Chains A and B, each alone.
Chain A
Amino acid sequence: MKPTDTSHPEYFHKVVDCQWACPAHTDVPEYIRLIAQGRFSDAYIENRNSNVFPGILGRVCDRPCEPACRRGRVEDRPVAICRLKRVAADHRDDISGRLPRAPSKTNGKRVALVGAGCASLTVANDLAPLGYEVTIFEALDTTGGLMRTNIPQFRLPPKVLDEEIAYILDMGVDLKLNHSIDSMKELLDQGFDAVFVGTGAPRGKNLEIPGRYDSENIYIGIDWLESVAFEHIDSIGKNVLIIGVGNTAMDCCRTSLRLGANDVKVMARKPRGFFKASDWELEDAEEENVEILVNHSPKDFVIEDGKLVGMTFELMEYNIDDAGRIDRGTVTGEKTIPCDDVILAIGQDNAFPWIERDIGIEFNEWECPVVDEATMMCTRDGIFFGGDSAFGPKNIIWAVAHGHEAAISIHKYCHSEDLQNRLPVGMNLASQKMGMHEWSYSNDYDPAARRLMPHVDLRERFKKIDIEVELGFTAEQTVQEVERCLNCDIQTVFAAELCIECDACIDICPVNCLTITENGDEADLRMRLSAPAENHEQALYVSKDLPQTSRVMIKDEDLCVHCGLCAERCPTGAWDMQKSTVLLPYAADEAADGQIQPAAPAA
């Protein structure tokens, strides 16, 4: 193998699994260290720089960081990253003075944002401080989009939403509530310099089976949740069936329990392991005694005298092959389950009835606009998409990532710069050596198990619909959980020319990461390391030829616990622990002095 090129920021960035997995690349280890030092406000700001909504995401983020966490490979369970984010948010002081403000004079550029959800708000957050005149158009009479209408209050209190949205609106954003945009043409006629569409995926999927329209007690999940959020619905029958087993289904079943249902069944077409819902959302629902019935495929609704009395399901059997793939299944029987209400939670679609199809915005076969993944611009110049409206339903943190990229594009577009010519991601590396055997971070491995989120007592939580179930970590839990972080951003950096091949680092490494051996191709090398490197998603760090024997030092990044002992045991300082800081460019960086890059003149 060739020596690893660590001058490219991507290499060390990938080692920080959580940060790499996060669409917005939140610097997780850094904010966890700040929490460990009791610097909650600093930890909050560190979060906010990349993910904009730490309080919200600290409760309801989809947490792509946690399955990626190295701790989950070294032991069983990852660091409770999301819970710690909430700790930063819960314990922060008033940080409003630390937020960027709009300049007294605008730059004269007007930007329209359609929808007041997380994607649009992120764009506003990035552009308002640069002097843009930002207008948000929202059809409802409140902000937050699906964060407010689809996430129940017992998971995400409105106060949390209000606070974090206010931070952005207070930057001088013009918010127009109850202002539905019914025509893109008309909006374009108002002469905005750029338009951003962040309208989400607002159409719940329907289930067209017999009896669907014969009762009023059959609801579309996201519409039903919205009606509950706006208090248009405040009760439901005793027996409720939820069709589908995604995260919306989990919100529907738990909300039903708070509106009077006492027997809620979630009907899954496939077996466990093929559910769309996140594990923790399933756990939380099952803790509330929601029953999940597997292998039930909906057949029809049973209506008697115009009243919904039950639903018939086909009982399914599946074969799962060695690769874990499931077949289409065979029907082995039928079963009717009585119920009073049915909520359909089987997915969401995009819907753009308000965008004319003759104005240069192309749509694909799924009725999604054709959007450039790097610039977020659609096929008509000056119109940008983000969040669920861009590529179909994803989650909040993806919407934030889209918003940041769209803000950069809008800035470049408004200044006639080349949208593709964006500032590159940068990286700083700085040694963390403080003394002979002292490091600037807590390098000892703490074997503590993951802390569990304390919940409101089961008897208490159903009394009102807005009792937040998760209480947040206690001080003791926080102290223990922060120590579980492996500080993966404190990189092991190797200088081959200093190595005397004494093997000290190899001998001390607790997880057999290191090997000195003859070079070879990657497949061969992976098999003859101190421990076979079987996780091919994790890189091998290959040094230049070592001075004494021309062999190479190889590090398998997979299980390194970043304890720094290789560097401590190194007599020549060939290993050093250096903190990598990923420098992500935002719209403000593009706007900084000297960054104006005029587009290449047309050929």
Chain B
Amino acid sequence: MSYIAKPEVAHPNMPRNKLGLTARDYEGTVSTLCAGCGHDSVTTAIIQAVFQLNIEPHMLAKMSGIGCSSKTPAYFVSQSHGFNAVHGRMPSVTTGANAANRTLTYIGVSGDGDSLSIGAGQFVHAIRRNLNMCYIIENNGVYGLTKGQFSASADIGSKPKKGLPNQQEPIDPVSTALSLGATYIARSFSGDKEQLIPLIQGALLHDGFALVDVISPCVTFNDHEGSTKSYAHTRQFYHHVVDADYVPPAEEIKAAYNDGSAMPIELHDGSKIVLRKVDKNYDPTSRAVSFKFLRDHFNAGEITTGLLYIDESRKEMHGLMGNIDTPLSEYPLDKLHPGRKELKKILNRYR
């Protein structure tokens, strides 16, 4: 951590978004994570994504549990809503918040420990409900806050700083989410913001559960030789499969794409995600194809990245439940509450 806060002085020609805000207006307090932590880069990517999407800070809710990753919501968009939940319980709290107010944009930041160990049950059920949120896993393969024990995402053979290499099968959040029916699944790397920012933008706008698994190296406990989640290892085995460009609503797709490899997908707000298939054999809309591809590459030690699966057709939680559009938090109490008489009637049905 630093002794001084990031000075408020800014570049005089900083771009402003449609709300007249600069990216600096979307910052939070200064990070207290280790210098060089991948999580800080993810924070910056989130700031950029939210800034570029012209999201009003008070219409954003940032949710987290426990862990290094779960500290990071303090470091972006200070003027938004937020909830720092019990370890692993962020998905449930987000489910509750979303149930009460569906108009907010929900961004959950979790880690491999928070999501794949203690909160694994919460994680899978949020996917099952297709909860409308952007779910970011800052994945570094270790428990940084407790000094570097292996987490559930540690690869077989990955060496710790001290002690024996990991022998247990890792949980891959991407193939887990794919098998559970998640509707937006991406993977990226904290050191590749060019790829990461549009993936987060798509995740924020996707109508349903959007997972972004970000390899985010732990500089202190897992950035050494022999680690499979270090900066150097990630860069070496990094494999772009499908890159994505975000195109705002009513804007034409400008970039020129190679024939056949570009695939525009319209999101519910009219904006588009243009998929650029780096690997022509890949189909990010077929669960079967992508599952085999991803498992094969995963087993080969490759880190497949990009927007790996997308399905815009499935309804999100409110749609599945047939809820009204008005957020319950804004619905008049007398209509929301059935009244003592009605309640008694309902209860009597179960007697």
Q: Hey, which bits of chain A sit against chain B, CB under 8 A?
A: 73-75, 437-438, 443-445, 447, 500-504, 506-508, 510-512, 531-532, 534, 548-549, 559, 561, 563, 565, 568-572
Q: State which of B36-44, B174-182, B268-276 sits at the interface with chain A.
A: B36-44
User: Which residue of B is nearest A567, CB measured?
Assistant: B35
A548 and B232 contact, Cβ closer than 8 Å, known pairs A503-B41, A504-B35: yes
Complex Cα distance, B11 from A73, in Å, reads 9
Q: Is there contact, CB below 8 Å, between B13 and A504?
A: no
Is B12 positioned at the interface, with any CB of A under 8 Å from its CB? yes
In the assembled complex, the CB of B109 is this many whole angstroms from the nearest CB of chain A, namely 16
The 3 closest A-B pairs by CB, nearest first: A571-B36, A445-B7, A507-B44
Complex Cα distance, B192 from A502, in Å, reads 9
Is B347 positioned at the interface, with any CB of A under 8 Å from its CB? no
Q: Is there contact, CB below 8 Å, between B11 and A561?
A: no
> Chain B contacts of A500 at CB under 8 A?
36, 219, 223, 231-232
A572 and B9 contact, Cβ closer than 8 Å, known pairs A501-B231, A504-B41: no
Interface of A is mostly: loop
Q: Is there contact, CB below 8 Å, between A512 and B217?
A: no
In the assembled complex, the CB of A264 is this many whole angstroms from the nearest CB of chain B, namely 39
> Chain B contacts of A563 at CB under 8 A?
4, 7
Complex Cα distance, B30 from A563, in Å, reads 14
User: Which residue of B is nearest A559, CB measured?
Assistant: B11
Tally A-B pairs: CB < 8 A. 99
Other than the known A510-B7, A569-B36, what 18 A-B pairs have Cβ atoms closer than 8 Å? A437-B1, A437-B2, A444-B4, A445-B8, A502-B37, A503-B41, A503-B193, A504-B35, A507-B43, A508-B30, A510-B24, A512-B14, A531-B13, A563-B4, A565-B7, A568-B2, A570-B36, A572-B36
A437 and B231 contact, Cβ closer than 8 Å, known pairs A445-B9, A502-B191: no
Is B10 positioned at the interface, with any CB of A under 8 Å from its CB? yes
> Chain B contacts of A565 at CB under 8 A?
2, 4, 6-7
Most buried by A among B13, B231, B232: B231
What are 14 sample pairs from A and B whose C-beta atoms fall under 8 A apart?
A445-B8, A447-B9, A500-B231, A500-B232, A502-B36, A502-B219, A502-B231, A503-B40, A503-B191, A512-B11, A531-B14, A548-B231, A563-B7, A565-B4
Complex Cα distance, B36 from A443, in Å, reads 20
Most buried by B among A73, A502, A512: A502
Is B3 positioned at the interface, with any CB of A under 8 Å from its CB? yes
Complex Cα distance, B38 from A219, in Å, reads 73
Q: Is there contact, CB below 8 Å, between B34 and A571?
A: yes
Interface of B is mostly: loop
User: Which residue of A is nearest B75, CB measured?
Assistant: A507
Contacting residue for A568 out of B35, B40, B191, CB 8 A: B35
Q: Is there contact, CB below 8 Å, between A570 and B35?
A: yes
Complex Cα distance, B43 from A565, in Å, reads 17
Is B190 positioned at the interface, with any CB of A under 8 Å from its CB? yes
In the assembled complex, the CB of B29 is this many whole angstroms from the nearest CB of chain A, namely 13
> Chain B contacts of A503 at CB under 8 A?
40-41, 44, 190-191, 193
Complex Cα distance, B30 from A13, in Å, reads 32
User: Which residue of B is nearest A71, CB measured?
Assistant: B9
Most buried by B among A75, A569, A572: A569
Contacting residue for A510 out of B6, B40, B41, B232, CB 8 A: B6
User: Which residue of A is nearest B13, CB measured?
Assistant: A531
Q: Is there contact, CB below 8 Å, between B191 and A501?
A: yes
Complex Cα distance, B41 from A569, in Å, reads 12
A504 and B37 contact, Cβ closer than 8 Å, known pairs A437-B2, A548-B235, A568-B2: yes
In the assembled complex, the CB of B5 is this many whole angstroms from the nearest CB of chain A, namely 8
In the assembled complex, the CB of A489 is this many whole angstroms from the nearest CB of chain B, namely 18
> Chain A contacts of B24 at CB under 8 A?
510
Complex Cα distance, B220 from A502, in Å, reads 12
Q: Is there contact, CB below 8 Å, between B40 and A507?
A: yes
Complex Cα distance, B247 from A336, in Å, reads 67
In the assembled complex, the CB of A446 is this many whole angstroms from the nearest CB of chain B, namely 9
Complex Cα distance, B43 from A504, in Å, reads 11
> Chain B contacts of A510 at CB under 8 A?
6-10, 24
Would you give the 0/1 interface string for B208-224, flagging 1 where the beta carbon is closer than 8 Å to chain A? 00000000010110010
User: Which residue of B is nearest A530, CB measured?
Assistant: B11
Contacting residue for B3 out of A437, A512, A534, A569, CB 8 A: A437
> Chain A contacts of B37 at CB under 8 A?
502, 504, 571
Complex Cα distance, B44 from A261, in Å, reads 64
> Chain B contacts of A445 at CB under 8 A?
7-9
Q: Is there contact, CB below 8 Å, between A531 and B7?
A: no
User: Which residue of A is nearest B9, CB measured?
Assistant: A445
Q: Is there contact, CB below 8 Å, between A549 and B11?
A: no
Q: Is there contact, CB below 8 Å, between B7 and A444?
A: yes
> Chain B contacts of A569 at CB under 8 A?
2, 35-36, 40
> Chain B contacts of A444 at CB under 8 A?
4, 7
Q: Is there contact, CB below 8 Å, between A507 and B41?
A: yes
Complex Cα distance, B2 from A568, in Å, reads 7
Complex Cα distance, B36 from A571, in Å, reads 5
Q: Is there contact, CB below 8 Å, between A74 and B44?
A: no
Most buried by B among A510, A549, A561: A510
Complex Cα distance, B40 from A572, in Å, reads 16
Complex Cα distance, B220 from A4, in Å, reads 31
Q: Is there contact, CB below 8 Å, between B219 and A511?
A: no
Q: Is there contact, CB below 8 Å, between A502 and B4?
A: no
Chain B 174-207 residues near chain A, CB threshold 8 A: 190-191, 193
User: Which residue of B is nearest A569, CB measured?
Assistant: B35
User: Which residue of B is nearest A506, CB measured?
Assistant: B44
Complex Cα distance, B35 from A73, in Å, reads 29
> Chain B contacts of A438 at CB under 8 A?
3
> Chain A contacts of B30 at CB under 8 A?
508
Complex Cα distance, B5 from A447, in Å, reads 13
Complex Cα distance, B41 from A502, in Å, reads 8
